Amino acid sequence: MAAFKLHLTITGIQEAMAANQKAIAALKPQGALGRAIQSALIAAHRYAATITHVDTGSLRASHRMTMNGTRGLIFIDSSFVNPRSRSRPVEYGFIEHRRGFPHNFYERTVNERGDAIAQAAMDEVLRGLP
């Protein structure tokens, strides 16, 4: 039986490692993933506020957003008070939302813009990858 000698050379390992490091950085909160989540959060917040039915504008003005790492949250600010009526949008906002279409601003945001917002965020993440 004949013996075979096999000679292999690995090339491009430094480039592969550099690309891997770039991908890891992109998926951190300070990288492309964080920017994508922030963009999605802003887009969803803006749309929810835009479609919120208003009498005085307090419910629309009470929408808030916060981001912690790779988690974003949109909510009605519980400390916000309507300056005219002294009522709290966090209390009547829930009732307004439960009235259903077209008053359900958060549900509508997900249903009407959720896919487009998610796709834009995914595109932003992918642009940040090597």
DSSP type of residue 64? E
Task: Check if the beta carbon of residue 35 is closer than 8 Å to that of residue 124.
Answer: yes
φ, ψ for residue 86, nearest 5 deg: 65, 15
Residues 6+ apart with CB under 8 A from 58: 80, 81, 82, 83, 84, 85, 87, 89
In this prediction, residue 2 carries a pLDDT of 77
Give tens-digit pLDDT for 61-88. 999 999 999 999 999 999 999 888 899 9
Give tens-digit pLDDT for 1-39. 678 888 888 889 999 999 999 999 999 999 999 999 999
Give the E-state strand segments of 15-126 in sequence order: 63-68, 71-76
Residues forming beta bridges with residue 72, ordered by sequence position? 67
Helix, strand, or coil (residue 63): strand
Alpha carbon distance 62, 107 (integer Å): 17
Task: Check if the beta carbon of residue 123 is closer than 8 Å to that of residue 43.
Answer: no
End-to-end CA distance of the chain: give it in Å, rounded. Answer: 47
Structure-model confidence comparison of residues 130 and 28, the more confident one:
28
R_g of the chain, CA atoms, integer Å:
24
